Structure formats: C-alpha cells, structure tokens
C-alpha cells in the first residue's frame, strides 16, 4: 500500500556504508567502530544478508549478535540503516521448498550458493521472509539507533525474471487484471499473427525460450508484470514494518548502466526516500557522464527532492570484466557529484574489505592493506568534507532542461526482431545526455507524460514506445513556446508495441513536420556524413520534410539526400528531429544550438580546463550552493562569489578549481 512518505531524519549529509559484521569477531567490531568514528561515519547498513544468522533453523530465532552490533553502534553515536535480512534465503529454506528457486527462460532452475535465489512470486518464500521481517521490525522498531529501514537488497538484481510455474500462474492473474478477458489480450498481443490466438487463460505462459523470436507484446507485458511483482513484494515487507515502526522505509534502487528490469517510475512513490546504488561502469565511453545521469535520474525518481546514495565504491568492483581502482581524488569527485546532483548522503559498499566470499576483491572503505593507504586517507578526508556540508542537506537542484526517460521504451526497444541489434535504448539516452553534460547543462530526468512547464528545453531520445498523451505532453508544451529535440526511433509503437502507422514518429509526426517512410540502419562502424559537415553512425532514415526546415541531410549512405536534422516551427516553439546518431562532438554542437535557442545556460561561467566539469547549483532557503567538479588535468576558473565550503576560503568574483579538485561555493545572496 502506498502511504504518505515519512521523512528520513538525519543531521546534515549522511556518511556511511554497508557493514557485514557477521564476517568478523567482536574484537574486530570494536576496531571497526573506532575507525568509523575516525572517518566520520554516521549511518551504517546492517543485517542486509543476515537471515541464516537470525534464523539458523526454521522458526528458531537468535538476535544476540545483531543486538550486540546495533548496541555498540548506538553507543558510538552511529545510526543504523537496518536491513530486514531477507535478501538471500538460508539453505534450510530452499531445501524445504526447492520450488523457491528461480527458473530461467530455458526452463532450468537456478541453484542456491550465490544470492537472491528466490522466485518473486513464490508464496513459501514470501511467507518465510515476511515472518523474519516481522520479527526484526518487532525487535528494533523503536530502537533509538534505527534511522532508516532497508527492505531486502537491490530487489530484482539477479531474480527479476522468473519463468517457473508459480510465476506463470501469477503472470496470468496479472494479465486477467489488466485485460479482464482474452479478447483484449489477443488484440494487444497481436496473436492473430503466427497462429498464437489464446482461447483459455491456462494456455498462456511466461515468454520462455522459443525456437523463433517471441511475441514481443507478451515479452513487454512480462517485463511490466515482473516489475510489479517485485514492487508488491516490497510493499508486503514495508507494510509489516510500517505497523511496527515509525521510521522511514526504503530499498536500494539500481539506477545504473546495466539493470533494466524494474520500472522505477512506478516504484518511487512507495519509497519514503529514494535510495540508489551506483557503480562506475568502465565498459562505457564516458563513465562520469553516466554517473551524472544516474544521479539525475535518482533525483527525478525522488520528484526533485533529496535522495540517498546508498552504495558506491571506493575503488574497484569485482563484477566487470576488468575492475579498475579509482584515480587519485576520484572517490571525492564521484561522491560529491552525487551530492551536487541531489543526494543527501554518501554511502559505500562496504565498510571493511572481505577476506572470504565472492566479494573479497571488491574495494571497501577500509582496504585489505589497512589504514596506511591512499584509499583510507581519502575516505577520512571525504568524511571531513561531508561533515562541513551539513547545511546543503535539503536544498534542491535547479535545472532548465528535461530529458524524457522510459523503462517501457527500454524494454520495447530491446525486444527481439528489431531493425538493428546494435541499437540500444540506454546508449541513445546516454549519448544525448552526454552532449548536454559536456556543455555543463543541468538536466532533470522526467517520465513520459511529465509536466514540462518549468523547463526551457526538452530532449526525447529514442522514446520508442509512446502513448498519445505522452507525446502530447511534449508537443503541446512546444506549441506553448518550448524547444524540443526528438531523436530517431521515437514514437514508433504504442503501449501494446503496435506500430503507429502513417509515417514513423507517430504521435510526434505532425509537430515535427516530417514524414519518415523507412528505417535504414547501418553497421556500427560505418561513418555517415551529413551536409553540415557532421559525421554520424548507426542509423539513417528515408523521409521528407512536410513543414519542417531541413538543417542537415545525409550526404552518403542508404538515405543519401534525406533529412538528418530538421526543425519545425510549432505554435510558438520549435520541434527538432534528429534521424541519426552524431559523433559526440557533433551532438554537442547540435545541443549547443538548441540550448542557445532555448536560452539555457550552465549554472556559472567556467574558463580553461581540459576535461569534463560537473557544475550544478543546489538552492536552499537562505543560500544556494554551486558545486564544481573538475575531472580534467588542468585548472579551471569559475565565476562565482561566496564562501568555499571545502576550504573555507572567501571568494570575491572567481574561484580557481585545481585539476581533479572539487569546490562547493555557498552563494549567500540569491544567485
Ligand atoms: C550491490 C549490492 C552489494 C554488493 C555490491 C557490489 O550494490 O547491493 O551487496 O554486492 O553490489 O558492487
């Protein structure tokens, strides 16, 4: 049940970590707590994976260790972000109920021995997990150390899509609820094609592995169902806690590069505070820009309110093909970029590096090598800075640009049988976002259909699945004077994955003033040249402008002579369309033109430098805070006045931000 949010009450910006004390003996706990105090840690997540310790045998509970750990943290003045402990079932539970184990799309079960090995629809799992959550909530619901409830852990990280019989039955229930009867389902799924018409609900299953491609509308609904199923699980745990504790409740989202299974737009309202885990992804061209995007999306999910960075890393993770440590100063730059973009906390996974188990090569605040390390010194330095930023808590980020983001479009874009396998939804979003980020523009990430009235510029990258009302939210706003950029493959299908006919871009078409007849994607390494001199990749289309002006056309490739960039005057605004993926420099140049036309500027003027700069303003009641993060190897100068909170220096007109440094300037008078 969604109820009104309970505020997360914390003094200043939280600084903390996941702590897994089950791995250590009590003498280590004492050392840990002393070092946490040295680093300024004030919020510690415990009992995330505690189940087998709390309930070693069915129905037999033992809270002594957790009592002790929470008691020691409390005595040291450290608050607790308390896990319900249900993230991974104990071995006895899967032995008693092997059907708890999730099933992959090929019909094979996944074994225990890792983590999160439970089917989201499993009744025996839910019953056992809620029983544990109830015991934990009863015991600690009023404990003065508990500052926040942490339901499960990264729900859906590994187990979002389960194909077992229990999941199939739950999927059918969900479908009955959505469609009422089989006729609308058959219509929505287009089952007339390939002899797929259903005459009985029991004929319907999850989209398991097929010989050919699967029904794409069924796959899309299965994504929706799977996201809803885990949300209902979250709600069940949250309800158990809510009746036993007045403290705010959340779970850690995974707004990050590679997790697509949960539509967090539908989850966010259930969180008392949105919390996110973020790890730099070195497989991407621009990990810093992705970090900024993820932080902006977390803020979007929070509706612009402060959110909480629940986990990130001090160095290497252990789950990428190559796990890179951070460069000098990068812990600070990453952490403070999240704060710049609205986080009221900086927390890490995990406190002390494990010496056993799957994550022993994952970095931690306290590394294997101990406190005589660069990582530890940077952690302590960061703790000091976070402590000085208390007044920033509660302030809100200012943005004039919106970017429309949709999990449904992500799912639909990456369905089987699409025009090009090289086309990825998130890649399109990141490319557009990177171009804006490289210009220093602050971007709010908004859901389809969002009210755009407070923005000057809106970017709609690859919004493949769109409802008429969602397109109208953009085009009506343009008619009222907005400037929008819509990019290729947007407006292709409706909510049932049914093509909008009459020319691609469907409900955007008229406002864009174009008629797109055919897609003509190209091999990813093929360069396309535009009449403007720009280069592009991946995509071209055969179209003509109806009312739009052609700003650039394809000079070569399968769509030579057709428009690549168009601009249509629509009401008192303008609707731009981009039919290809420009090189990063050319995308940036295009966004600069749009920003100029829309009158959008970075929050302050920056001079010099040789790399990316994150520059964001958070506005509080009495002051605003200008965050400047210099990722480059040359100093920059920023035009700003006020007090610099990292060093305490007074700034009259300009501040130098050395290479790799972060500056946070309190601007007393409204900027
Ligand atoms: C996630 C999990 C943690 C840990 C980290 C490692 O964020 O929540 O338990 O596995 O990943 O990066």
- At 567, which CATH number? 3.40.50.880
pLDDT at 668: 79
| Cα→Cα distances 207→53, 168, 589, Å | 37, 9, 43
Q: Is 348 in the pocket of ligand 1 (CB under 6 A)?
A: no
643 vs 649: CA distance, rounded Å? 6
Query: Regarding beta strands 307-311 and 343-348, do their DSSP bridges make them parallel or antiparallel, or are they unpaired?
Result: parallel
Q: Does the annotation count 510 as an active-site position?
A: no
Predicted local distance difference test score (pLDDT) of residue 539: 98
Residue 631 sits in a domain whose CATH number is 2.60.40.1180
User: Domain check: are 521 and 563 in the same one?
Assistant: yes
Question: Are 388 and 526 in a shared domain?
Answer: no
Q: Is residue 324 part of a domain?
A: yes
Q: Is 349 inside any structural domain? A: yes
Q: Is there a domain that residue 8 lies in?
A: no
pLDDT for the residue numbered 4: 67
Domain assignment present for residue 567? The answer is: yes
Pocket test for ligand 1, best of 152, 323, 359 (most atoms within 8 A of CB): 359
422 and 498 co-located in one domain = yes
- β-strand pairing of 535-537 with 581-582: antiparallel
Residue 4: inside a domain, yes or no? no
The active-site residue out of 55, 311, 408, 644 is 311
**pLDDT tens string 266-296:** 999 999 999 999 999 999 989 999 999 999 9
Q: Bridge-partner residues for 519, per DSSP?
A: 541
Domain end among 339, 363, 397: 397
Q: Report the alpha-carbon distance of residue 566 to residue 548 in Å, rounded.
A: 6
Same domain, 442 and 326: no
Say if residues 614 and 643 touch (Cβ distance below 8 Å).
Answer: no
Please name the helix (run of DSSP H) or strand (run of DSSP E) that holds residue 70, with its range, or none.
helix 64-75
Same-domain status, 413 and 388: no
Low-confidence ranges of the chain (pLDDT < 50): 1-2, 670-671
Are residues 546 and 619 located together in one domain of the fold?
no
CB count in 10 Å sphere of residue 204: 18
Do the beta carbons of residue 332 and residue 631 sit within 8 Å? no
Q: Tell me: do 577 and 613 sit in the same domain.
A: no
Q: Are strands 457-460 and 483-487 parallel, antiparallel or unpaired?
A: parallel
pLDDT at residue 3 in the model: 53
Residues 408, 393 share a domain: no
Residue of 154, 309, 358 best suited for mutating to test ligand 1, as the one with most atoms within 8 Å of CB: 154
Residue 1 in domain: no
Q: What is the DSSP track for 303-362?
A: TTS-EEEEE--SS--SSSSS-PPPPTTHHHHHHHHHHHTTEEEEEES-SB--SSSTTTTS
115 contacts 49 by C-beta, under 8 angstroms: yes
Mark whether 628 and 573 lie in a shared domain: no
438 contacts: CB under 8 Å, gap ≥ 6: 289, 584, 588, 612
Nearest protein CA to atom 2 of ligand 1, as residue? 154
Residues 400, 457: contact at Cβ < 8 Å?
yes
Residue 366's closest CA among 350, 343, 387?
A: 350
The values of phi and psi at residue 265, to 5°, are -60, -35
If asked whether residues 364 and 444 sit together in one domain, one would say no
Domain encompassing residue 544: 401-598
Count of H helices and E strands in the chain? 17, 30
Same domain? 27 vs 126: yes
- Pick the catalytic residue: 55, 154, 166, 400? 154
Q: CA-based angle 166:167:171, to the nearest 5? A: 120
Question: Does residue 9 form part of some domain?
Answer: no
> In the structure encoding, which two tokens stand for residue 75, read together?
């005595």
How far, in Å, from the CA of 133 to the mean position of ligand 1? 21
Domain count for the chain, please give it.
Answer: 3
Q: What is the per-residue pLDDT for 276?
A: 98
| 53 vs 66: CA distance, rounded Å | 9
Residue with CA nearest ligand 1 atom 11: 349
Position 2 scores a pLDDT of 45
Annotated active-site residue 311? The verdict is: yes
Provide the β-strand partners of residue 569.
574
Helix ranges (DSSP H) in 350-424 = 374-388, 407-413
Tokens standing for residue 310: 């629940």
Domain boundary, last residue among 556, 572, 598: 598
- 606-608 and 636-639 as β-strands: parallel, antiparallel, unpaired? antiparallel
Write down which residue in 566, 598, 630 finishes a domain: 598
Looking at residue 669, its pLDDT comes to: 61
The response to whether residue 280 sits with its C-beta less than 6 Å from ligand 1 reads no
Q: What pLDDT does residue 271 have?
A: 98
Residue 82's closest CA among 99, 105, 55, 63?
Answer: 63
Name the average pLDDT for the chain: 96
279 lines ligand 1 (CB under 6 A): yes
Distance (Å, whole) CA 169 – CA 206:
9
Q: How far apart are CA 110 and CA 162, in angstroms?
A: 10
Position 120 in a domain: yes
Residues 29 and 132 in one domain: yes
Residue 121 is predicted with a pLDDT of 98
* 3 state DSSP class of 605: coil
**Is 153's C-beta closer than 6 angstroms to any atom of ligand 1?**
yes
Q: Is the CB of 17 under 6 A from ligand 1?
A: no
Q: What is the CATH number of the domain that holds 45?
A: 3.20.20.80
Residue nearest to atom 3 of ligand 1 (CA): 349
Q: Which atom of ligand 1 is nearest to the CA of 153?
A: 8
């Amino acid at each position: 049940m969604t109820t009104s949010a309970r505020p997360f009450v914390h003094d200043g910006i939280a600084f903390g970590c996941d702590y897994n004390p089950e791995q250590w003996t009590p003498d280590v706990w004492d050392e840990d707590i002393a070092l946490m105090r040295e680093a300024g840690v004030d919020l510690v997540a415990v009992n995330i994976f505690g189940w087998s310790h709390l309930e070693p045998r069915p129905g037999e509970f033992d809270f002594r260790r957790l009592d002790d750990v929470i008691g020691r943290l409390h005595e040291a003045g450290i608050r607790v972000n308390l896990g319900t402990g249900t993230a991974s079932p104990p071995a006895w539970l899967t032995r008693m109920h092997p059907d708890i184990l999730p099933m992959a799309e090929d019909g094979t079960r996944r074994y225990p021995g890792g983590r999160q090995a439970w089917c989201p629809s499993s009744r025996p799992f839910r019953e056992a997990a809620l029983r544990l959550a109830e015991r934990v909530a009863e015991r600690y619901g009023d404990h003065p150390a508990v500052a926040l409830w942490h339901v499960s852990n990264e729900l859906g990280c590994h187990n979002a899509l389960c194909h077992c019989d229990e999941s199939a039955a739950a999927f059918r229930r969900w479908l009955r609820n959505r469609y009422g009867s089989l006729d609308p389902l058959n219509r929505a799924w287009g089952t007339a094609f390939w002899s797929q018409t259903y005459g009985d609900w029991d004929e319907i299953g999850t989209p398991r592995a097929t010989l050919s491609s699967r029904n794409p509308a069924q796959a899309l609904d299965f994504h929706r169902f799977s996201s809803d199923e885990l949300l209902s699980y979250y709600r069940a745990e949250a309800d158990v806690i809510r009746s036993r504790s007045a403290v705010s409740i959340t779970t850690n989202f995974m707004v990050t590069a590679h997790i697509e299974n949960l539509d967090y737009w539908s989850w966010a309202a259930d969180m008392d505070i949105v919390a996110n885990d973020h790890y730099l992804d070195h497989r991407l061209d621009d990990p810093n820009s992705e970090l900024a995007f993820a932080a902006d999306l977390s803020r979007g999910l929070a509706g612009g309110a402060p959110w909480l960075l629940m986990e990130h890393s001090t160095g290497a993770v252990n789950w990428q093909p190559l796990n890179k440590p951070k460069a000098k100063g990068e812990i600070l730059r990453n952490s403070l970029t999240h704060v710049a973009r609205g986080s009221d906390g900086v927390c890490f996974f995990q406190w002390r590096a494990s010496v056993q188990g799957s994550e022993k090569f994952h970095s931690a605040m306290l590394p294997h090598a101990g406190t005589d390390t660069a990582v530890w010194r940077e952690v302590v330095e960061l703790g000091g800075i976070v402590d000085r930023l208390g007044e920033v808590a509660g302030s809100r980020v200012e943005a004039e640009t919106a970017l429309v983001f949709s999990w449904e479009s992500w799912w639909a874009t990456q369905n089987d049988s699409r025009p090009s396998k090289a086309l990825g939804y998130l890649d399109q979003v990141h490319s557009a976002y990177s171009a804006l980020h490289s210009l220093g523009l602050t971007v709010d990430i908004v859901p389809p259909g969002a009210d755009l009235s407070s923005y000057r510029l809106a970017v709609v990258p690859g919004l493949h699945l769109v409802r008429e009302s969602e397109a109208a939210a953009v085009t009506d706003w343009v008619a009222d004077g907005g400037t929008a950029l819509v990019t290729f493959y947007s407006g292709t299908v409706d909510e049932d994955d049914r093509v909008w006919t009459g020319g691609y871009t469907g409900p955007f078409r008229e406002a864009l003033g174009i008629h797109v007849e055919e897609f003509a994607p190209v091999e990813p390494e093929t360069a396309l040249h535009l009449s403007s001199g720009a280069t592009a990749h991946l995509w071209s289309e055969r179209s003509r402008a109806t009312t739009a002006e052609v700003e650039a056309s394809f000079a070569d490739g399968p769509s030579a002579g057709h428009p690549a960039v168009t601009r249509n005057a629509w009401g008192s605004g303008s609707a731009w369309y981009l039919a290809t993926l420009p090189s990063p420099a050319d995308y940036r140049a295009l966004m600069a033109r749009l920003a100029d036309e829309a009158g959008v500027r970075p929050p302050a003027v920056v001079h010099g430098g040789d790399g990316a700069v994150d520059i964001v303003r958070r506005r509080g009641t009495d002051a605003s805070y200008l965050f400047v993060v210099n990722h480059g190897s040359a100093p920059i100068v920023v035009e700003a006045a006020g007090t610099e909170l990292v060093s305490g220096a007074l700034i009259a007109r300009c501040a130098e931000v050395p290479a790799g440094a972060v500056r946070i300037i309190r601007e007393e008078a409204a900027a």
